[in-house]
Structure 1
Amino acid sequence: MAAASGASGLAAGYSGAQLATFVWVGQGMLAVVLLWGWTELADRIRTGEVASDLLRPIHPVTNYLAADLGRAAYALGTRFLPPVLVGPIFFDVYLPTRWFTGPLFALSLALAVVICFGCRYLVNLTAFWLHDIRGPMMFWALSSGVLAGLYFPLRFLPEWAYLPLWLATPFPSLLQTPLDVLVERDAAGTQLGLVAVQLVWAGLILAACRLAQRRAERRLVVQGG
């Protein structure tokens, strides 16, 4: 990223310090948002243990979301802070200048956790139909890494490519949006608009989770019972 900014000190509207912050905070966010590695629900569907989840008074989506929020809160202290604290030792990083950027980033990060949970939940729910979710998991791992801004900021793409991606898919809301909010890549109004898009996606994804859960409960018999 430092090489990308080059002699001009800018790359796709980011300064070298903003890109350094993008990288180090992005690495810290990985464990908080948790793009990959969660198959608990799919495993329980495959073994039939999910039947006990359906007997509980709490809706499965609410139950698993609460657990995921607790995991994310723990990861903030154990996995998020180390790279955030180490990065400034070796690189010049960008410090926000707007008073509301900190709280807005915290809200954006929380929404990213909710959206990512919902996407992973939907991937896991495919086990009701497929039993083996390795295919959907591989597709999710590839698409989420590339389209969320993990490997490079999406602003490096042409505007005609990243704008539809931002509005038509939830992927940029996972990493790109919180990081752009933090480094103040855009004007204040655009910052708020990006978080508003996240809020819409969070509602849509959670609604999709509940709908898919209801269809699975009514139409299918889980393996083992």
Structure 2
Amino acid sequence: MIHIAMVEDDTELADVLTQYLSKFNICVTNYEDPFIALSAIALKEFDLIILDLTLPGLDGLEVCKELVTKYDIPIIISSARSDIADKVIALELGADDYLPKPYDPRELEVRIKTILRRFNKQMPKALDEVKEIFTLDEERQEIKKNGKFIKFTPAEFQIMSLMCKRKGFVVSRYDILDSCDFLNSDEDSGSIAVIINRIRHKIEEDSKKPEYFITIRGVGYKLVE
């Protein structure tokens, strides 16, 4: 099993990433406080560190500097800070990758795998064996379930495409309206709920008891696997 230390004060994001990565035999221990994180990393063995830059009490770049100075552990910066200077400084300090938020958890998993292979870490076999149920190919405008192509209308595709990109995260109705420009032109769409119901008929065993495209009451929707 791969052991990762995450330094992230966004607990919702940390929970989503922890649950997602666990499917790939990756155990994540999250620390909201950077000082506690530094103490824990000094005492325990980790294969990789995922580090946010905006942290309470201590800037993430300072944490990165201390980690690089003391340990030979690969670091992925996971940050919402868009300033190119932060990215340059982090990489110059010795971080191995910089992943701007928001991102697809799948991308994080691939980057972890790539970096650990570069560091000659032994990757668990399960990491390559786990397959996603839903796959999105934006170039071909295709979405497949367990390798089988599903035909969607333009509005259905845009919504399902958004959900695939935000897999594991809650997507609000506002996010859907803002991202999907085919909604108004889709025939007999009526509402987002109607389109989502059509999607469920195509991807669920029982559309009335969805396992994958679930409703988070009062908040929005989530695609889970």
Shorter-chain TM-score range? under 0.3
Query: Higher helix proportion, which one?
Result: 1
TM-score of the superposition, structure 2-length normalised? 0.25
TM-score of the superposition, structure 1-length normalised? 0.25
Q: Could you say which structure has the greater relative contact order, defined with CA pairs below 8 angstroms and 6 or more residues apart?
A: 1
